[in-house]
Amino acid sequence: MKMSEMFFTTLRETPSEAEIPSHQLMLRAGLMRKLASGIYNYLPLGKRVLKKVEEIVREEMDKTGAQEILASALLPAELWKETGRWNVFGPEMFKLKDRNEREFCLGPTHEEIFTDIVRNEIKSYKQLPFNLYQIQTKYRDEKRPRFGVMRSREFIMKDAYSFDKNWDGLDISYKKMYDAYCAIFDRCGLKYWVVDADTGAMGGKDSNEFMVPSDVGEAEVVYCDECGYAANVEKAPCVNRAIHAEDVEKEIKKVATPDVKTVDELMHFFNTTADRFVKTLIYSIDGKAVAVMLRGDREVNITKLQNLFKASDIEMADRNTVESVTGAEVGFAGPININVDVLVVDDEVAHMKNFIIGANETGYHYENVNYGRDFKADVVADIRNIEVGEPCPKCGKPINIARGIEVGHIFKLGTKYTEALGATYLDENGQEQPIIMGCYGIGINRTVAAIIEQHHDDRGIIWPMSVTPYHVIIVVASNYQPEQIQAAEKIHDELAARGIEVLLDDRDERAGVKFNDADLIGIPIRITVGKKISDGMVEFKRRDKAESIDIPINDIVNKVIDEINRELA
């Protein structure tokens, strides 16, 4: 491909709306352009990368025996109403009506659709198991589209759904996908964790997310260097041990604390540390007033709380609700004489001694409070986030936490959709049974962005050979030297004839501009045809190395092919 003929422009300046490297570089390198918030058009270079990633996904899926289909993105409301998700999805779902006022949505995911396809075709155990997948555009009206294609409103997903006779079969189908995902992300050149993920309030058995370690990731991953445990913070259980176990239980005491409300103010007032306080937060969960108690310096884990209540709607209660359930100004909530529907106490609190709580009376706290003796909860449960240095839930050694980008997600769904939609089969005894399902997603565009996050420097992208838009870029140092142009074209044609994807930078630009663009767009191998051509030499340079070497023009094609094959092997 001659760059003089390619539809291609790079940007010198970093667009101000792009906050993270992958977003900045995808715009600067001309991979894509923004159309509207969270909506992008892919240009030739970007489209080639997407195709490479899709092809890796397709090959690895096909190897497992999964079969590709293509469902519509425009979906009738009825199926979503059958499973109840028409309302559950809420404002994230793009809803629309046709000319006859019939309701539709643009598919945010396809469990209902695949289950419907299967229920119409499958009658007998003899037709199971199988796995169907597609690579298709999804629509989600994300609350905060951001970071370019990392969280966009239109994106390409590979979604797969397995259908089995029983749970043992699902375990096998799931393992196949687990292994295929590892192969896919390995081939994409990504380092990743496979983490335990939340299975949600609705149940489901196992779930794993594939997380790419990155400071710009929106997920938090708990990991243990000692035993290899890794989990989403949403999921990781806390291991609580007795705190200040040596203390004897002292007598509870009411203390006047005028204008002392926040944990910081309390620490100052009582001249002690945050782990001596227990805060009481008021939530509204599916319309119920719920008080949640946890140590002063801890954070509520909304996912754990949501699962505990099998809740669909959780929010912090407003000031009026707080004042009416506590009978005090905000800042003095506590468990004694509180008027809530449910009092939940974090398990850690039950391990504490002689702590300080709000008294449900403006200007007062209690000290030397002990769980069980002074108050009791309706539920004691693990409802907080695990923190750095706490014991690993598996081996007890201190854990670490880092950020990650979720590129893939696999999930043992079970019968949630097949029961709701009546997707059943007749077993060996002629009994009707619900089909057992798994679902498996990969964000194709997000994977591209994650690859850039892990493979770039301050000059631009550094593509792994497996996903690069072109393997080689040939830079002609001076367009006014016919000898250079001719040699470059010859190398270009020979490489292309041998199946190598090659760009020829024959644009009427200074060599410096061409080098900068070659670095920016990240082509792994650069060949420069310059003055040394008169000695029969060209320059060979890898994008990921600083030095370049001179190679005889007659050897360059084989050198390039060896290099590429070595890397793709």
Give the whole-angstrom CA distance, residue 456 versus residue 469: 15
Give the whole-angstrom CA distance, residue 157 versus residue 57: 10
Interface residue with ligand ATP, options 441, 460, 469, 530 (CB under 6 A):
441
- 235 vs 543, beta carbon nearer ligand ATP: 235
By rule CB under 5 A, what string of x and - marks binding of each residue 361-400 to Mg ion? ----------------------------------------
What proportions of the chain, in percent to the nearest 5, are helix, strand and coil? 30, 30, 40
409 binds Mg ion (CB under 5 A): yes
For residue 443, the partner it binds in Mg ion, ligand ATP, none, with Cβ less than 5 to 8 A by kind, is ligand ATP
Write down the number of H helices and E strands in the chain. Answer: 14, 31
Interface residue with ligand ATP, options 115, 445, 468, 479 (CB under 6 A):
445
What's the one-letter identity of residue 73?
Answer: A
Residues between 358 and 387 with contacts to ligand ATP, criterion CB under 6 A: none
For residue 165, the partner it binds in Mg ion, ligand ATP, none, with Cβ less than 5 to 8 A by kind, is none
To ligand ATP, the closest distance from the beta carbon of 214 in angstroms equals 13
For residue 441, the partner it binds in ligand ATP, Mg ion, none, with Cβ less than 5 to 8 A by kind, is ligand ATP
For residue 416, the partner it binds in ligand ATP, Mg ion, none, with Cβ less than 5 to 8 A by kind, is none
Nearest to 214 by CA among 467, 23, 410, 452: 452
- 158 vs 353, beta carbon nearer ligand ATP: 158
For residue 208, the partner it binds in ligand ATP, Mg ion, none, with Cβ less than 5 to 8 A by kind, is none
Residues between 462 and 521 with contacts to Mg ion, criterion CB under 5 A: none
CA 253 to chain centre: 48
Contact 340, 298 (CB under 8 A): no
To ligand ATP, the closest distance from the beta carbon of 499 in angstroms equals 31
For residue 142, the partner it binds in Mg ion, ligand ATP, none, with Cβ less than 5 to 8 A by kind, is ligand ATP
Q: Quick one: which segment of 348-356, 440-448, 464-472, 545-553 binds ligand ATP (CB under 6 A)?
A: 440-448
DSSP letters for 303-328: HHHHHHHT-S-EEEPPHHHHHHHHSS
To ligand ATP, the closest distance from the beta carbon of 238 in angstroms equals 22
DSSP letters for 97-158: E-TT--EEEE-S--HHHHHHHHHHH--BGGG--EEEEEEEEEE---SS-BTGGGB-SEEEEE
- 21 vs 107, beta carbon nearer Mg ion: 107
- 210 vs 332, beta carbon nearer Mg ion: 210
What's the burial of 172, exposed, middle or buried (CB within 10 Å: 0-12/13-18/19+)? exposed
To Mg ion, the closest distance from the beta carbon of 196 in angstroms equals 12
Give the whole-angstrom CA distance, residue 147 versus residue 24: 9
Nearest to 445 by CA among 21, 135, 214, 186: 135
Interface residue with ligand ATP, options 45, 157, 282, 352 (CB under 6 A):
157
Contact 349, 275 (CB under 8 A): no
Give the whole-angstrom CA distance, residue 219 versus residue 192: 13
To Mg ion, the closest distance from the beta carbon of 407 in angstroms equals 10
By rule CB under 6 A, what string of x and - marks binding of each residue 133-152 to ligand ATP? -------x-x--------xx
Residue 522 backbone zone (phi > 0: left; psi -120 to 50: alpha; other: beta):
left
- 45 vs 442, beta carbon nearer Mg ion: 442
Nearest to 199 by CA among 345, 381, 416, 346: 416
Residue with tokens 């644009």: 507
User: Which strands make up the sheet holding 103-106, listed edge to edge?
Assistant: 74-76, 103-106, 94-97
Nearest to 503 by CA among 374, 337, 514, 18: 514
- 187 vs 365, beta carbon nearer ligand ATP: 187
| Number of residues engaging Mg ion in binding (CB under 5 A) | 1
Contact 8, 30 (CB under 8 A): yes
Interface residue with ligand ATP, options 393, 443, 469, 524 (CB under 6 A):
443
What's the one-letter identity of residue 534?
Answer: S
To Mg ion, the closest distance from the beta carbon of 381 in angstroms equals 23
353 binds Mg ion (CB under 5 A): no
Q: Quick one: which segment of 246-254, 401-409, 499-507, 525-533 binds Mg ion (CB under 5 A)?
A: 401-409
By rule CB under 6 A, what string of x and - marks binding of each residue 404-423 to ligand ATP? --xxxx--------------
To ligand ATP, the closest distance from the beta carbon of 229 in angstroms equals 21
331 binds ligand ATP (CB under 6 A): no
Q: Which helix (H) or strand (E) holds 44?
A: helix 44-63
- 150 vs 238, beta carbon nearer ligand ATP: 150
- 107 vs 129, beta carbon nearer ligand ATP: 107
155 binds ligand ATP (CB under 6 A): yes
Q: What is the DSSP letter of 205?
A: S
The token duo for 246 is 């040596």
Site of interaction with ligand ATP (CB under 6 A):
109, 140, 142, 151-152, 155, 157, 406-409, 441, 443, 445-446
Judged by the rule CB under 5 A, the positions of this chain that interact with Mg ion are 409
